[in-house]
């Protein structure tokens, strides 16, 4: 059993860490305050090969797998949880999913543009009244002969109002329930039937654009179907099992950033004549954070490794996502306590770590949904895929 990283993987970590510190950190406080998204930064990340993992080289892939993507995303999230999102939008979400279910023409047309960030990616599942219960979505796609017509609304969609090409899930036959859902590759631009709007009232992830999409008799080409008509639910579940590993990587990064900040502050701040890190209560908090983070790291890396080996991993991925996201919230909360009053100030990163960490309990399946998946597989109700 190997626990070490290769020299190449360590170099990738260092490259991502370097990028985060030199390109993201200098403007982060200002960008957070102004909810600023920088598309040119996504392009920079693409040029470094960040979005080529788990994809064939013929479509722009870099020859690496899910584990390398996790290592990259973790280092970026250590500085900013917001800038972990492009890994899902450009790579692990649409690109990897089209590579699995798409035709050769679809792969050639779309994947390279996501990998090199010429197209801004997204995937649209959640609706105003449909979250964890994916099959309750109301968006429909009607076959009109020479085109499909989309009607409905998507909510809380990353990159909604800045996105170009991405995946949209809709019902083509509601009577068939799960088997009546279909996935479409959709262009959000230059379509009079599609209107997007930003959501600026978020607690965290202020540099990651989030919005809503409204489809009103939106015409999309007949060749927009990904996979087969009626295969959408299967595609959606397969995709979420991948994108949640990137969320788990984001949790590792946020927790790691919070722990580093807590340790630095505990070694600098003095009370009653000595640094606060000398007090056992502070040490106990840091010890718990470090132990949980180390355990989370092993779980996330294991799940990513299983994916790269083509082995069953759904349960392990949900375990990783559940544990890592909860550990990140705990680490961020403990960091705020260690910072005391300064933790409540936007002048320090503690409050941002806590705000950003909260999202990871919700996205790509809430913590409760992860528990349902884990228990269902453990009890033999469903197989581990």
Question: How many angstroms separate the CA atoms of 357 and 330, rounded?
Answer: 9
What is the chain's mean pLDDT, rounded?
97
Are 77 and 140 in a shared domain? no
Percent of the chain with pLDDT over 90: 97
> Which pLDDT score is estimated for 343?
96
> Can you read off the two tokens belonging to residue 227?
């996979």
Domain assignment present for 189: yes
Check whether 1 has a pLDDT greater than 80: no
Question: How many angstroms separate the CA atoms of 233 and 225, rounded?
Answer: 13
Question: How many angstroms separate the CA atoms of 51 and 119, rounded?
Answer: 12
> Which pLDDT score is estimated for 16?
98
Domain assignment present for 312: yes
Are 80 and 127 in a shared domain? no
170 lies in which domain range? 123-230
Residue 80 DSSP class: -
Average pLDDT estimate for 279-308: 98
Q: Which of 109, 236, 249, 117 is nearest to 170 (CA)?
A: 236
Domain assignment present for 383: no
Domain assignment present for 272: yes
Other CB atoms closer than 10 Å to residue 228's CB: what's the count? 12
CATH number at residue 209: 2.40.110.10
Are 279 and 215 in a shared domain? no
Please say whether the beta carbons of 80 and 20 come within 8 A: yes
Work out how many domains the chain is built from and give that number.
3
CATH number at residue 62: 1.10.540.10
Are 174 and 224 in a shared domain? yes
Average pLDDT estimate for 312-337: 98
Check whether 372 has a pLDDT greater than 90: yes
Q: What is the pLDDT of residues 247-284, one digit of tens each?
A: 999 999 999 999 999 999 999 999 999 999 999 999 99
> Can you read off the two tokens belonging to residue 7?
């020299």
Last residue of a domain, one of 115, 147, 168: 115
Last residue of a domain, one of 80, 115, 150: 115
Are 214 and 264 in a shared domain? no
Going by pLDDT thresholds of 50, 70 and 90, the confidence category of residue 2 is confident
Q: What is the pLDDT of residues 195-210, one digit of tens each?
A: 999 999 999 999 999 9
Instruction: Give the catalytic positions in this structure.
Output: 364
Are 73 and 197 in a shared domain? no
**H or E segment and range at residue 154:** strand 147-158
Are 95 and 140 in a shared domain? no
C-alpha distances in Å from residue 135, one per residue of 6, 11, 65, 232, 384: 42, 42, 30, 10, 21
CATH number at residue 262: 1.20.140.10
Domain assignment present for 58: yes
Are 241 and 350 in a shared domain? yes
Strand positions, DSSP E, 188-327: 194-198, 210-221, 225-226, 270-271, 274-275
List of long-range contacts for 270-277, beta carbons under 8 Å, 24+ apart: 276/338
Are 293 and 193 in a shared domain? no
Average pLDDT estimate for 72-88: 98
Are 283 and 356 in a shared domain? yes
Are 289 and 369 in a shared domain? yes
Residue 158 DSSP class: E
> Can you read off the two tokens belonging to residue 24?
């993201």
Check whether 131 has a pLDDT greater than 90: no
Going by pLDDT thresholds of 50, 70 and 90, the confidence category of residue 60 is very high
Question: How many angstroms separate the CA atoms of 360 and 43, rounded?
Answer: 25
Average pLDDT estimate for 147-164: 98
Check whether 122 has a pLDDT greater than 80: yes
Check whether 384 has a pLDDT greater than 80: yes
Domain assignment present for 44: yes
What residues form DSSP beta bridges with 153? Answer: 214
> Which pLDDT score is estimated for 310?
97
Strand positions, DSSP E, the chain: 123-124, 140-143, 147-158, 165-171, 181-187, 194-198, 210-221, 225-226, 270-271, 274-275
Please say whether the beta carbons of 321 and 244 come within 8 A: yes
Last residue of a domain, one of 96, 115, 134: 115
Domain assignment present for 348: yes
Are 322 and 251 in a shared domain? yes
Domain assignment present for 1: no
Residues comprising the chain, all counted: 385
Q: How many helices (H) and strands (E) does the chain have?
A: 12, 10
**Model confidence, pTM:** 0.96
Check whether 339 has a pLDDT greater than 80: yes
């Amino acid at each position: 059993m190997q626990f070490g990283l290769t020299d190449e993987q360590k170099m990738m970590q260092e490259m991502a860490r370097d990028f985060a510190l030199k390109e993201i950190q200098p403007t982060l406080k200002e960008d957070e305050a102004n909810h600023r998204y920088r598309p040119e930064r996504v392009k920079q990340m693409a040029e470094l090969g960040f979005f080529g993992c788990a994809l064939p080289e013929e479509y722009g892939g870099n020859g690496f797998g899910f584990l390398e993507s996790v290592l990259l995303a973790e280092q970026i999230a250590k500085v900013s949880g917001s800038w972990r999102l492009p890994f899902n939008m450009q790579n692990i979400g649409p690109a990897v999913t089209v590579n699995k279910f798409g035709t050769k023409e679809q792969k050639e047309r779309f994947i390279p543009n996501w990998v090199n960030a010429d197209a801004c990616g997204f995937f649209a599942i959640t609706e105003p009244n449909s979250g964890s219960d994916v099959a309750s979505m109301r968006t429909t796609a009607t076959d009109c002969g020479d085109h499909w017509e989309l009607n409905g609304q998507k909510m809380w969609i990353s990159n909604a109002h800045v996105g170009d090409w991405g995946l949209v899930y809709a019902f083509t036959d509601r009577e068939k329930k799960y088997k009546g859902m279909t996935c479409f590759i959709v262009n959000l631009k230059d379509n009079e039937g599609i209107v997007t709007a930003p959501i600026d009232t978020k607690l965290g992830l202020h540099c990651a654009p989030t919005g809503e999409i409204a489809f009103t008799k939106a015409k999309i080409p007949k060749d927009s179907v990904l996979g087969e008509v009626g295969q959408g639910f299967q595609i959606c579940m397969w995709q979420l099992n991948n994108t949640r590993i990137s969320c788990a990587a984001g949790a590792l990064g946020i927790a790691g950033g919070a722990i580093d900040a807590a340790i630095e502050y505990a070694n600098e701040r003095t009370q009653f004549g000595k640094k606060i890190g000398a007090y056992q209560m502070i040490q106990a908090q840091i010890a718990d954070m470090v132990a949980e983070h180390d355990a989370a790291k092993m779980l996330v890396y294991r799940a990513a490794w299983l994916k790269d080996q083509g082995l069953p991993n759904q349960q392990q991925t949900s375990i990783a996502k559940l544990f890592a996201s909860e550990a990140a919230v705990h680490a961020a909360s403990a960091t705020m306590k260690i910072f005391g009053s300064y933790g409540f100030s936007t002048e320090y990163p503690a409050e941002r770590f806590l705000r950003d960490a909260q999202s990871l309990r919700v996205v790509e399946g809430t913590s409760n949904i992860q528990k349902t998946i884990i228990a269902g597989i453990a009890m033999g109700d469903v197989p581990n895929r």
